[in-house]
Structure 1
């Protein structure tokens, strides 16, 4: 079995009771809302990565204001055909960020196709990735360990 690790950085941007989200094709191809952010390039500081990813996915310039926590995910992905299964470990750094400039726009030829602000109370009704709930829990609870447990049932 092949092992793979991925480090990513995401931001919780809340402004006037609204959360900034990006839309991505889900694992099954059905669009879902995600926290803006993504993979940290080799040698890149995670703080710089989240600023870069937000600019790419939303058009906004942001200032990182705090590290909320780290989410660790361990999953086995079965592959079809001749591909071997993958033992995947994801480390996701979750920050808060404040928009400082730029204009909301959609990413072209990237991992997302849309970005939008959503009322916080409307988020539970959205089709969303689990990381949205993880990020919101970290933002609301600010646990001293920087860790929250979000069961799959809360995935939305």
Structure 2
């Protein structure tokens, strides 16, 4: 890939949690200028913040729930022309809090969905990747 001298490259570290309650999964609706899609709760890790702590903070911000991280499921990497996203995916368990919507953030609501209906949702591809990681639990942390 040839890069222009003036192109600025950007790497973003983010952390997410797959939270299940029986056959239901917790998702947050991510909004941007191009529309809305359902996504795992989570997002950007602050400078100096541990990804595990970032996932816990982000789930609380986006859903109102306190979670406990149980397992590292894997790390997903996406590359676009001037962007590299490194996404750490954990399995989490809700241990407290109450469902509420984020105000003034990158998501506008959160909800529980039956796993059987996830394939019908307008969703980010990370949801499918995370569910594949959850099913396969690859030793390398990569599908």
Q: Per the shorter chain, which TM-score range? A: over 0.9
**Which residue number in structure 1 is paired with residue 28 of structure 2?**
22
1:40 and 1:11 map into 2 onto residues whose CA distance is: 13
Asked if 1:35 is matched to 2:12, the reply is no
CA deviation after TM superposition for structure 1 residue 135, in Å: 0.6
- In the superposition, the TM-score normalised over structure 2's length comes to 0.93
Asked if 1:104 is matched to 2:99, the reply is yes
Correspondences of 1:1-156 after superposition (within 5 Å): 1-26=7-32, 28=34, 30-76=35-81, 87-148=82-143
* Secondary structure in structure 2 of the residue aligned to 1:69: strand
Which runs of 5 or more residues in structure 2 are unaligned?
Answer: 1-6
1:65 and 1:27 map into 2 onto residues whose CA distance is: 34
Q: Which runs of 4 or more aligned residues in structure 1 lie more than 6 Å from their structure 2 counterparts after TM superposition?
A: none
Q: CA RMSD in A?
A: 0.9
Q: Cα deviation per residue 1:58-92 (whole Å; 9 max; x = unaligned)?
A: 0000000000000011002xxxxxxxxxx100100
1:25 and 1:130 map into 2 onto residues whose CA distance is: 15
**Which residue number in structure 1 is paired with residue 3 of structure 2?**
none
CA deviation after TM superposition for structure 1 residue 2, in Å: 1.0
- In the superposition, the TM-score normalised over structure 1's length comes to 0.86
